[in-house]
Structure 1
């Protein structure tokens, strides 16, 4: 039987507008409709055309891994796109055709809610991610980049592992003469201490560590190490034993949370041999998630009330007296939320009750640039984010980093990538400011 990843999908198989829903160092992701199957799909295009053998091989390898990992909690691949994307100025492209996830990612959800999801949903997400990871490990695969933005959510907020660009066969499943010496990829905040060694080869314990940090993000609703934006600093601190703080989680009186916090701490143990296996993890997460199974519909309903308040009646709003910080099965819950959709939606962000379009974000940046130049302090982190999304050329990025003062760095970004990239790059700059300068943005937004 032919592999799905060999299935060619052309423009004749698709219909409707191509809508850009995400971008990164890999290129861009578009949403369109797969006419043959009658469903919406996401198409991940690389940075280069098929003239690049490296890019082509990378696409085929990622599609192959995704297909090998076909499972309920792993993103499904439909085939390889070939053609010139309609409505764009791009030349001939190849890309991966994947299922489209309506609710973005866990990262999207945490930002939308300005905090963690209701505990029943948080515990189900923890279990579903563990199930996906366990399936990969059973198939001798290491994901190598588990983090909130790489766990996508369907319309029912079920989790599926995505972004297999770094995935590979675990070296623990290879013979010695088969071991590869590839560069280790990943995201520093979610990488285990041993992975910062240039001679390290990825094994399953890499994912276990990342899963522990991912659990912390889900339960806290935060990004780990917010004060350490420089990757160089993380490469020093993580091997020395720094981990996200757990005191606040330990104070919460939530049935089942203590057990999962203990599991989380075991997952990020400094010694990889002491980390639990994925088969052990799913036993713990299943036990807790089952306690809250009957509360899932109510939890999702409350989240939807917050994400889409205009579609909910006054009577369906959760009680202001309820709280996520102390809950046991059967209790009601509530959450504060700010809409900020970065994937599977139009490029927009909520500022109070108003949603800004890409053009409005760009205008905001232009209008407030004089203040941003003077007051922005996390500009290195912002430049890193733009660079990771492919919004800054290598030469421009190096020029920005060479500037000694933050004000000069901001001016260099504005006069270079922002001016040449237009509204799209300015909107990305706006989003980066929201991520790394929340207090400054709150003041600028009045």
Structure 2
């Protein structure tokens, strides 16, 4: 099969060295490598064998190749070869910018909240500029959210993950699994997109940008406990993330960004601003804080590289949703059984920091109990981000019970993602259901 129909620069093993695996999920693996000709680190995104590329990697490459912009992750070429780390056969992939600081979402977790205000202003502006550029090239992102805003070493933001861009209207139907694949994360979808006859347009991205602004201002994930069904029901009737805790007098320019945020998530697509309008507003706000940005970036990087932060850092990094009363009650009903089982098990893990292998073994050893007792499945699925392939996400979301959702999680993500995906699941489970992990003998 030909890799891409448009022309991109081929990059082979002879141009790459110092390979390191840095991420894994249902879609495949991401490696970091040194590009010998360019003298820079790059990321190589490779699909698992057997994963259909029709609406994922190859579409992403096509759109990235049409979008050269400072605030869009750059495509350097296409890869074909056998990765020297973990590779067993010839594979195809993309060679792109290596974003060493993860994503906006992961950084918010590491900082336990939003970053300093000047950095919020810079991200808001850089995303607006990047999206304005994409729309000028007739590209619609369709999956704009914190995990798809990646950060380089200087904490500059770049847009990533173009697998959903420019989706054909004919692909939309009332099937929820399809909606999950092409509509992006449902928490960032506009009200009109929940209609089966919806035709994707630019205003979709503008609405998502409004929710993104709320997330980076508050440092939180919108609707952390809400299922697809609840969001689908509430959003078309005007529900939006709460702004009650945002003190608009706290920072210079905060009121302006909140006003922009609300205009972006307006119920009517025709009343939402264009990204050109957004860019003008964010440039004005950022200009008031630009002088202090270098000091702020240095402070944040210093904090991230402190020993305490490095120890606490996890590969899955997202906010902790609150339990509903029903979920708390469910936990209570299984508490005694779990405690009894854990007491009967021998101590498997010593009192040291768990390695990735320890975490993966825990997830394997307690598969049956986790399937039975994990109640925050969708919150955990969202927290795993790109480790859960879009097709797997939609299948998990469509299942009626937590047990069925967890079975799909094991089949579609944990098994294919290997040790890294299982370790990320363990870390995320600790955030969402720490009592469950503790009762099963894990370390918190």
Change (3 A) 1:430 1:191: same
> In the alignment, which of 85, 91, 114 is matched to residue 112 of structure 2?
114
Mapped contact 1:250–1:261 kept (Cα < 8 A): no
What's the TM-score, normalizing by structure 1? 0.77
State the match for 2:342 in structure 1. none
Structure 2 match to 1:423: 419
How many residues are treated as equivalent by the alignment?
Answer: 393
Where do residues 17-416 of structure 1 align in structure 2 (5 Å cutoff)?
Answer: 17=19, 19-48=20-49, 55=53, 59-168=57-166, 180-183=169-172, 184-228=182-226, 230-250=227-247, 253-310=250-307, 339-342=313-316, 356-365=354-363, 376-382=374-380, 389-390=387-388, 401=399, 406=402
The whole-number CA distance in structure 2 between the counterparts of 1:61 and 1:72 is 20
Is the contact made by 1:124 and 1:289 (CA closer than 8 Å) also made in structure 2? Answer: yes
Unaligned runs of 5+ in 2: 173-181, 318-351
Preserved contact between residue 82 and residue 93 of structure 1 (Cα < 8 Å): yes
Cα deviation digits, residues 382-437 of structure 1 (max 9, x gap):
4677797358997xx779946x5x57876896799768976334213213314543
The CA deviation at 1:302 is: 1.9
CA distance 1:223–1:279, change in 2 (3 Å): same
Change in CA separation of 1:33 and 1:412 when aligned onto 2, cut-off 3 Å:
closer
CA separation of 1:392/1:269 partners in 2, compared to 1, >3 Å: closer, same or farther?
closer
CA pair 5-303 structure 1, distance change in 2 beyond 3 A: farther
Partner of 2:164: helix, strand, or coil? Answer: coil
Q: 1:113–1:193: structure 2 CA closer, same or farther, 3 Å change rule?
A: same
TM-score normalised over the length of structure 2: 0.77
2:429 to 420, 430, 433: 433
Can you give the 5+ residue segments of structure 1 that lack an aligned partner in the other structure? 170-178, 313-336, 344-353
* Displacement of 1:185: 2.8
- After superposition, the Cα gap between the structure-2 partners of 1:208 and 1:310, relative to the gap in structure 1 and judged at 3 Å, is same
CA contact (8 A) 1:5 1:63 kept: no
SS of the aligned residue for 1:304 comes to helix
Q: Name the CA distance, whole Å, in 1 between partners of 2:424 and 2:301.
A: 26
Residue 363 of structure 1, CA deviation: 4.4
Q: Tell me, what secondary structure is at the counterpart of 2:220? A: coil
- RMSD over aligned CA atoms reads 3.7
Q: Is the 8 A contact 2:25 2:416 kept in 1?
A: no
Match of 1:325 in 2: none
| 1:87 CA drift (Å) | 2.8
